[in-house]
Chain A
Amino acid sequence: MIGAVPGIVLAVALLGGLAAYLRVQRDPPPAWYADGGVISPTVGLTRTEKPSGVLRWLTTVDHKDIGLLYILFGTAAGLWGATDAMMMRTELLVPETVVWNVETYNAVFTTHGLTMLFFFVTPVFTGIGNYMLPLLLDADDMAFPRINAVAFWLLPPSLVLVRGGLISDVLGAVLGVLPIGVGALLALEPVSMGWTMYTPLSTEMANPQIDVTLLGLHLSGIATTMAAINFIVTIVTERPDDLGWDELDIFSWNMLVTSGLILLAFPLLGSTVILLLLDRNFGTTFFAIEGGGPMLWQHLFWFFGHPEVYILVLPAFGLISLILPKFCGRRLFGFRFIVYSTIAIGVMSFGVWAHHMFATGMDPRLRASFMAVSLAIAIPSAIKEFNWIATMWNGSLELSAPMICIVGAMSTFVIGGITGVFLAAVPVDLVLHDTHYVVGHFHLIVVGIIPLAMIAASYYWFPLITGRMYNQRLARAQATLLIVGAFVTFVPLLVLGYMGMPRRYAAYPAEFVGLNQVASIGAFVIGVSVVLWLVNLVQSIRVGPIVEDADVWNLKETGQFTREWQWFEDRIEKRRAERPLPDDHTGAESEPSEEATDPEKPD
């Protein structure tokens, strides 16, 4: 039975290789007019040194290419995780489990959590960092381009391993028509132990897919750690001499602290996961009741898990701090304090893990001290919010699409942050812990800040990356819709938590139905807005008006035309010098209302 697996892998590899080879053979030498009549926006980049077609993307060690690969991969994983979310919110429209069954619900929130945390957020931020950091730092590339590529290419197999149950089921069903044994594939069920994988549940569940998932998590941890090391070394060593620490941009600072956290936290997750694997398969007793005990898992897991939440959110804070001033027409207020607060959060994040365990019956004195640190960590978070508002005050605000995202993120952060303080207060946490209040609280951050910061970045740098402009009106509508959706979805969950509805419930008592339906409608609004974002950008990559003036956001006027935009301008100049622009080609395929040289500005 197992024998079937390597065969399949070989076949897939063979076919993939063949396709790649044929693609290389068939690819004509790239034309100047790559998109049929409209000049190619990327001409004059590094085209001449790279192979073309699929091979280019498989072999690339260029930080920009790898950045794009990361972003694409992370986005795809995010869409997959969002599909899980839509499935859950559909189930929760009704109190009984009628849409899917309990097994599916439990599997879906587990894979949703794992996919979103490990394969959506961190890869997308790594991608943005990969693309932008060398430009922001004026470096040629990342410090270790090859490690960079390896770190990326470990991720797709990790995702396949983690989400194996579903993939193997589909594969098994498809291959089932052939006369080969697929029993091994069908034995793998999607995992359903929750992303926290508490023992003894995770040791007792028979599903062999759990082992595969643990291996996948281990692999993804290796990949994430490699990328983090690369960031640290790049930021420390690849800066030109005249770029001192005091002039390092805020996004790089945040990536540096994030990478430090990854370096300290992820190896712990990797080892802990291996211990669990040993417990499951080799009869060790690290987490067994008669051995290390169930609490050991919780301590080890959350010692990784709490820094992990800051690993997720610090890059988003960095993007907000970087992009916000550009649309305020003035520099970031309190740069130094924002950097200090980032470092403070990084350090303190290792001292708060037990606030996830207040209900386990820890010694009250321990609880009190973890409460103190957890409250203290709210100070640097609040400082950020205040500094952002102070940056806006007395500025000249431009409500462009990226700015709407950022202000939206700032407004959800107020609620997301303050609800966190309630959870730090031990007695209140005792009633709210493991209820939908917690789900509401952390989604106000993981949906209300992280994707908004990513989307802000995508709207901000889209012209730079693709050389084209998107539909800004649609973008503004999309951003607004996402903010509204986030509030409508997750604020009702706070109330549900106060009413006592526990999390991870496939079925719930009928009195909770009203607020759950409101939340589900909000979730569908989020879904629609994500689709709008996707359609807008994909369509604009194809036929959006080409950007001719690198100063898309009028940054020169306020002296904020930073290095990456300078690089973009140089690129455009180079393109012009290489081949004078035939006027009649400009905007041939774009809508008449949108001038190629002057992207629509808000009124």
Chain B
Amino acid sequence: MTRVRRGVVAVVVLLSVVLAATPSTVAASSVTDQLIRRLNRQLLYMAVPIAVLVEIILIYTLWRFRGNDEPRPTRENRQLEITWTVATALVLLFVGTASFHALAHPSVSTIDGESSDVPDDAVEVDVTAEQWEYAFEYPDAGVATNETLVLPENRSIYLSITAEDVVHSVHVPELGLKQDAIPGETNLLRTELTGTGEYRLYCAELCGVGHSGMLSTVEVVSEDEYEAWLEDQRAGEADNESATDATNESSGGDEP
């Protein structure tokens, strides 16, 4: 009995250590990120203890019954089978429900770009991936660039994502954003950014030799800076149409 008790104490201590070590809340940088992070944390709170528990039971079984002199013949136990089936089902039901709540949020579920309209006050950017760089077009502002994706914080963002040649994927892990860029299709990625900063944008779908160089940056700035940036772009574009292409270095477009 004491052995069992000692085992329980060990398990509880270990669990608390593990829980303490799981990622704590870092300020989320977008609504999407916040939702996904919260869900991920909920899942970790279940998954880590379960994983640790099963591993401990496995190791404990190994240790306790190794070279056991009095093995007992296997006796079927339907009740036990049903118990753990139902228990697993309940855990997964929780996973499903929690995920469904996050999934249903507009910031998490992308939608078909053609059939939906963008609200007037939203920032709309057309993101087009092409081997091996991105073009960012701001149709409302009449600005286009392929250097960085500059976005204002605290406004609805609508990114219409498509590709010219092959499948790419717009992946900004720190903002919780991912949407495949598929030629012939446009998909709308919706979010709202809650913190300024620079975030790396990766291409996450194999698209040929330049794939691992197909990086860019998302720069989240305040509303004022955003307007100023748009002004600059418009002025710069009028001066020199092709300058952006020549100085572009972050997108890996110089890959052969």
Chain A residues near B (Cβ < 8 Å): 97, 102-103, 106, 192-194, 196, 198, 200-201, 204-205, 289-290, 293-295, 325, 328-334, 336-337, 359-361, 363-364, 367-368, 371-372, 375-376, 378-379, 382-383, 385-387, 389-399, 407, 410-411, 414-415, 418, 421-422, 424-428, 430-431, 433-435, 499-500, 502-509, 558
Task: State A328–B68 Cα separation when bound (angstroms).
Answer: 9
Contact B173 A500 (CB under 8 A): yes
Closest chain-A Cβ to B195's Cβ sits at a distance in Å of 16
Does B230 sit at the interface, judged by CB under 8 A? no
Contact A331 B55 (CB under 8 A): no
Instruction: Determine the chain B residues whose CB is within 8 A of the CB of A558 once the complex forms.
Output: 71
When the two chains form the complex, which single residue of B62, B166, B206, B215 contacts A392, counting CB atoms closer than 8 Å?
B62
Whether A430 contacts B180 in the complex (CB less than 8 A), given A361-B111, A392-B61, A507-B213, comes out as no
Other A-B contacts than A395-B72, A427-B36, 19 sampled, CB-CB below 8 A, are: A102-B212, A106-B206, A194-B206, A198-B167, A293-B185, A294-B184, A361-B182, A371-B103, A379-B88, A382-B88, A390-B77, A394-B68, A397-B65, A407-B62, A415-B51, A430-B176, A434-B178, A504-B206, A509-B215
Instruction: Determine the chain B residues whose CB is within 8 A of the CB of A407 once the complex forms.
Output: 58, 62
Contact A375 B206 (CB under 8 A): no
Which stretch (B78-86, B134-142, B231-239, B241-249) binds chain A?
A: B78-86
Whether A431 contacts B182 in the complex (CB less than 8 A), given A364-B103, A386-B84, A418-B50, comes out as no
Contact B58 A361 (CB under 8 A): no
Contact A506 B212 (CB under 8 A): yes
Contact A392 B88 (CB under 8 A): no
Does B149 sit at the interface, judged by CB under 8 A? no
Contact B108 A427 (CB under 8 A): yes
Task: State A395–B89 Cα separation when bound (angstroms).
Answer: 28
Task: State A97–B211 Cα separation when bound (angstroms).
Answer: 13
Chain B residues near A (Cβ < 8 Å): 35-36, 39-40, 43, 47, 50-51, 54-55, 57-59, 61-62, 65-74, 76-77, 80-81, 84-85, 88-89, 92, 95-96, 98-100, 102-104, 108-112, 161, 165-167, 169, 171, 173-174, 176, 178-180, 182-185, 187, 200, 202-213, 215, 255
Task: State A558–B185 Cα separation when bound (angstroms).
Answer: 63
Contact B43 A330 (CB under 8 A): no
Task: State A331–B85 Cα separation when bound (angstroms).
Answer: 21
Whether A106 contacts B211 in the complex (CB less than 8 A), given A397-B68, A426-B99, A427-B36, comes out as yes
Contact A198 B54 (CB under 8 A): no
Task: State A424–B173 Cα separation when bound (angstroms).
Answer: 18
Contact A418 B40 (CB under 8 A): no
Contact A383 B111 (CB under 8 A): no
Instruction: Determine the chain B residues whose CB is within 8 A of the CB of A386 once the complex forms.
Output: 84
14 contacts between A and B (CB under 8 A): A102-B212, A102-B255, A103-B209, A106-B206, A198-B167, A201-B166, A334-B76, A361-B187, A379-B85, A392-B61, A398-B66, A425-B43, A425-B95, A500-B200
